Amino acid sequence: MRLHKDPKRSESSRRWLQRQIKDPYVLRSKKEGYRSRAAYKLLELNEKYHFLKPSLTVLDLGAAPGGWTQVAVPLVKSTSENPSVFAFDILPMEALEGAVVFEGDFMDDVVLKNLEEQIGGKVDVVLSDMAPSATGHAATDHLRIVGMVEAAYDFAQHILKPGGAFVAKVFQGGTEKDLLLLLKQDFEKVHHAKPPASRKESSELYVIALGYGKGKSVAKEETVKRNVEG
């Protein structure tokens, strides 16, 4: 049976290709050797919020093709002999010097235990630039990305060290506010930002949560404890 071409998909693909060809970040990534233009989003976010520093341990969720991992490796000074950057994705990812690459589904209950054993404990930073495949329906796509980010954060809660950071992609649409409120209960500081490398027409935002375990709920518990002891 002969399949007919979808004119809408063809037009969409054509526009995407034209945008890629003209995109200065795409051209720059090829020139500078990054696997994706997304690398510049992480560079710009870190330049402002400084969550990637030497000696920190980093877990990059949904890492393929590896743009964010590439950025993290030199910033935390991870080496092949003493790796402190761990890239994780359900899709295969080409090996990257200075990083350890894992393949699997982070939503699998067995994965967390195995991952902690291989990493050797917990991590200082969890990164997530994940996004589900778009359906074309804005409301549905928004709910799916928020659901994925919430799953990533649920995973991060089990593997983050006290004082750690969580950086993830979300999309504007209203329900991301619930996620921000949740993060503010667990982190000392929570920011949301749109880096210059993020396309203007895109509704994507990034949450940058710093100081895990030092949020409002923890502070409230400590205040109550001091009052009881006093």
Report phi then psi at 204, rounded to 5: -70, 145
**Which of the residues are catalytic?**
169
DSSP 52: -
* Antiparallel, parallel or unpaired: β 204-212 and 187-193: antiparallel
The helix (run of H) or strand (run of E) holding residue 190 is strand 187-193
* Antiparallel, parallel or unpaired: β 123-128 and 99-103: unpaired
Contact 78, 98 (CB under 8 A): yes
Q: Rounded to the nearest 10 degrees, how much is the dihedral formed by the CA atoms of 192, 189, 108, 67?
A: 50
SS3 181: helix
